[in-house]
Structure 1
Amino acid sequence: MRAFLTAGTIALTLGYVLSQFYRAFLAVLTSTLQTELGATPGDLALSSGLWFLTFALMQLPIGWALDRVGPRLTSSVLLALGGGGGAAVFALATQPWHLHAAMALIGIGCAPALMAAYYIFAHDHPRAAFTTLAAAVVGFGSLGNILGAAPLVSLIHAIGWRPALWLLAALTLAVAALQLLSVRDPAHHGGAPQVRLSQILTLRALWFILPLFAVSYAASAAIRGLWAGPYLRDVFGADDTAIGRATLVMGLAMVIGSFVAGPAARLIGSTRRAVLAGHVLAVATLAGLWLVPGHSLALAVLLLGLIGLTGTNYALVMAHARSFLPPQLVGRGVTLLNMFSIGGVGVMQFASRPVHATAQALNPPAQAYGFLFLFFLVPMAVGLGLYLRTPESGDV
């Protein structure tokens, strides 16, 4: 872990903490924004989806920028302008569409945080260390999920949601400045060979990884960041405090899962088998939420916690896919992979809005959310089936 404890890596990890926070904090603001701005769960689904969509669309230009400009400027400039600027727009919002614009800007600002760290790990450290380092960033970054739960509720109760957003804007600018001062670019950047997208897509080993990557993270990200709050409120009558505690459980589970990912892969004997085990757990948990969505609040929180735990699947799938990328394809390769993952979340977020609306019109609340969880379950099961055709890599 010595490689992790550098000023630059810590600064990038703090950026990823903000990324995790911003993608998740709408869940605990559901009631507040509905009261203050008239924003419905559908509006927030659109805002959250725009975060993921802009995040995903930025991945290919970020891949170019990492190779040509370097991770230091790429991450710090986008975080300052997009993240800090978007938080300011959010603080000034008076209409739901202002939230859409704010979240789109924040998505742009958060887009390079994790990939900048992965880029440095891939070029400056042995390939066998990638899984552990990648999972460590995700693990510490998942603290953002925790901060976006009960602590955010307490802060909003203490000072109000608009001052809280202004405070977040200032914090975002401070982290961007820290990145600018402390991140060190790999020595070779700026001289990387030109890489065509077709070179990455011709890697046959990725063909059956990409479908799973496109749906794997969608369930934990969408449920934690958007649907957990409305689900617990509509089905069990939970208030903001109860929702904050439940989403805190999900956030803690995400942290725990990320830190055990690397050791689990070594214990099981391969990253591929760890990916399979993690996704079997995810499918089983989603099946539970689909079949018994209204059983009890305690069971719902337990199952949501397990969904949070399976958020670690992202780092494992990334590590497996990364093992097939030759050095000259790392920059564009990891950002392409991330585009599939985050883009999948965005698409599922957008699609979940009419799915929930239709189910809600035809069913009681519990059954309506059951259909929503089934919507996340089916693509993951299909992706897992396709993933079975992937080969093992040489890394653990």
Structure 2
Amino acid sequence: MRPDLILLCFAYVLSQFFRAFLAVLTKALEADIGTTPEDLAFASGIWFLVFAAMQVPVGAALDKIGPRRTAASLLLVGGGGGALLFSVATTPAHVTLAMGLIGVGCSPVLMASYYIFATSYPPARFATLAALMLGVGTVGNLVASYPMALASELIGWRLSLVGLAALSALTAIGLYILIRDPERDAAAQKGSLLDLLKIRALWFIFPVMFVNYMAAAGIRGLWIGPYLSDTFALSTGQIGTASLVMGLAMIAGTLAYGPADRLFKTRKWVVFGGNLIAAIALFWLAFALSASVWLSVVLMAAIGFFGASFPVIIAHARSFFPSHLTGRGVTLMNLFGIGGVGIMQFASGRLHTSLSATDPALAYQTLFLLFGALLVAGLAVYLLSQDRTD
């Protein structure tokens, strides 16, 4: 791994942290500025939707100006500025605005590394490299669990966010210094997103990309905290430990998926089988909602592990991309993946609010059933896709 890729990996650690840390701060933010679970669901949804919307300009920027300036400038302004704004938040609206700005800052990080992998390494290694980057970067999920809970208790969430703002800015400066843009030829300036949308094979992959990350990101990034608190009355530290377990499972799953396409000589069936198991775990969790805290944590870990097919789905789609549209291609897939999470965060917040007033258990059961049903629907379309390996 080159120095620039190592630093990009660290930047992705920050990105993973920012999408998941709200769950741990549920009680602290409620006490200090009056946020509710619906407020945090809305703010988390804004992060994902802004992140997703940014994939279109980020893809064009990667193809036209390269990953160096794209990643460094957005992380500096969005990541550093957004974290600093969060640190001085006094209302839920401030949290939402800060999360949107942080979403801008995080939007190019993973795709910049994927662009470098796709243009500088053999195609057959893309899934393994992509999974390695995703798996190592998901350490941010771990930092967003127990360590963040501990930092919040020791120095306060505001000072913690100030430190994260400084760290984001320093990382952005390092990216500008270290990243080496891959060489581009004249063909790299031609083509558009519409050319990708004309590729029929991709339309059978888009639906599973849209739903595969919903449950893992939604539960780990937001609902694990309120669910365990409301159902089992766990403390912030205990919720942090449970989040840590699910985060470790997501890392293990990502690393396991990476070489699986080469091991089994298929991408389609690796993705289909893993996500089917994740759907079964979601239905099980819904119907064993309050049976045992340990069973719930194990099932959420299984959802995280088997729902970590993100890099293999992108590798499957990448095999259909024209080489000069690599940047737009990987970011288009990321738009579907992150956009699905963002939309579901909004929907889940409203769903929870509408049902929890009368029956809190029914609210969580319905939420987990909806996650599972959407995943099954995406897999049904994916069955029609064309398998392809490099």
Alignment of 1:160-175 (within 5 A): 160-175=156-171
Map of 1:383 onto structure 2? 378
Q: After the TM superposition, which residues 178-197 of structure 1 pair with which residues of structure 2 at under 5 Å, given as runs? A: 178-188=174-184, 192-197=188-193
Say whether the 8 Å CA contact 1:82–1:107 is kept in structure 2.
yes
For residue 72 of structure 2, the aligned residue among 41, 53, 76 is 76
Partner of residue 368, structure 2:
373
Decide which moves more: 23-32 or 176-185.
Answer: 176-185
SS of structure 2 residue aligned to 1:312: coil
**Length-normalised TM-score, structure 2:** 0.98
2:324 corresponding residue in structure 1: 328
Contact residue 282 and residue 303 of structure 2 kept, 8 A: yes
1:277 pairs with 263, 273, 276, which one?
Answer: 273
- In structure 1, the partner of 2:285 is 289
CA distance in 2, matches of 1:173, 1:343: 26
Matches of 2:186 and 2:174 in 1, distance apart? 22
CA–CA distance in structure 2, aligned partners of residues 388 and 304 of structure 1: 25
Q: Distance in 1 between matches of 2:76 and 2:322?
A: 32
8 Å CA contact retained: 2:201, 2:385? yes
Match for 2:34 among 20, 23, 38?
A: 38
The answer to whether structure 1 residue 393 and structure 2 residue 388 are counterparts is yes
Deviating more after overlay: 261-270 vs 49-58: 261-270
Distance verdict in 2 for CA 1:40–1:204, change over 3 Å: same
Deviation of residue 384 (structure 1)? 0.4
In the alignment, the residues of structure 2 paired with residue 166 and residue 33 of structure 1 have an alpha-carbon distance, to the nearest angstrom, of 16
For the 8 Å contact 1:67–1:189, the answer to whether it is kept is: no
Q: Does structure 2 retain, via aligned residues, the 8 Å contact 1:138–1:315? A: yes
**8 Å contact kept, 1:66–1:189:** no
Q: Once the 2 structures are TM-superposed, how far is the Cα of residue 190 of structure 1 from its aligned partner?
A: 7.8
Q: Letter of the aligned partner of 2:265 in structure 1?
A: G
Q: Match of 1:92?
A: 88
8 Å CA contact retained: 1:67, 1:191: no
Alignment match, 1:47: 43
Of 330, 349, 353 in structure 2, the residue corresponding to residue 357 of structure 1 is 353
The residue identity in structure 1 corresponding to 2:76 is A
Q: Which residue of 1 aligns with 2:54?
A: 58
**Match of 2:384, SS?**
coil
Residue 190 and residue 339 in structure 1: after superposition, are their counterparts in 2 closer, same or farther (change >3 A)? Answer: farther
1: CA distance, partners of 2:259 / 2:123? 16
* Corresponding residue number in structure 2 for 1:11: 7
- Displacement of 1:282 in angstroms is 1.0
Q: CA deviation at 1:269?
A: 2.4
Residue 392 of structure 1: how far off its partner (Å): 1.1
Check the 8 A contact 2:63/2:324 in 1, yes or no.
Answer: no
User: Matches of residues 191-206 of structure 1 in structure 2 within 5 Å?
Assistant: 192-206=188-202
The answer to whether the aligner puts 1:211 opposite 2:194 as a matched pair is: no
Q: Contact 1:63–1:335 (CA<8 Å) still a contact in 2?
A: yes
Separation of aligned partners in 1, 2:304 and 2:287: 19
Q: Which runs of 5+ in 1 are unaligned?
A: none
**Structure 1 residues 352 and 189: alpha-carbon distance in aligned structure 2, compared to 1, 3 A threshold:** farther
Deviations 1:358-383 (A, max 9, x none): 221332x2232011111211111100
Contact 2:282 2:368 in 1 (8 A): yes
Matching residue of 1:231: 227
TM-score by length of 1: 0.96
Question: Residue type matched to 1:383 in 2?
Answer: G
Paired residues of 1:219 and 1:376 also in contact (CA < 8 A): yes
Q: Check the 8 A contact 1:142/1:255 in 2, yes or no.
A: yes
Contact 1:60 1:335 in 2 (8 A): yes
Q: For residue 237 of structure 1, what is the amino acid of its counterpart? A: A
One-letter amino acid of the structure 2 residue matched with residue 68 of structure 1: K
The offset of 1:40, in angstroms, is: 0.2
Name 1:110's counterpart in structure 2. Answer: 106
Question: How far off its partner does 1:101 sit?
Answer: 0.5
Identify which of 7, 22, 26 aligns with 2:18.
Answer: 22
**Hey, what's the Cα distance between the residues in 2 that align with 1:46 and 1:195?**
35
Q: Does 1:266 align with 2:262?
A: yes
CA change 1:289–1:311 in 2 (3 A) is same
- How many residues align? The count is 390
Q: Deviations over 1:227-249 (max 9, x none)?
A: 11000000110110010000000
Distance 1:97 1:327 in 2: 42
Contact 1:69 1:189 in 2 (8 A): no
SS of equivalent to 2:367: helix
Which amino acid is the alignment partner of residue 372 of structure 2? L
Instruction: Give the secondary-structure state (helix, strand or coil) at the position aligned to 1:362.
Output: coil
Which segment drifts farther, 310-319 or 34-43? 310-319
Q: What is the distance in 2 between the residues matched to 1:279 and 1:90?
A: 35
How far the C-alpha of 1:191 sits from its partner, in A, is 6.1
SS at match of 2:308: helix
Equivalent-residue separation in structure 1 for 2:277 and 2:289 (angstroms): 17
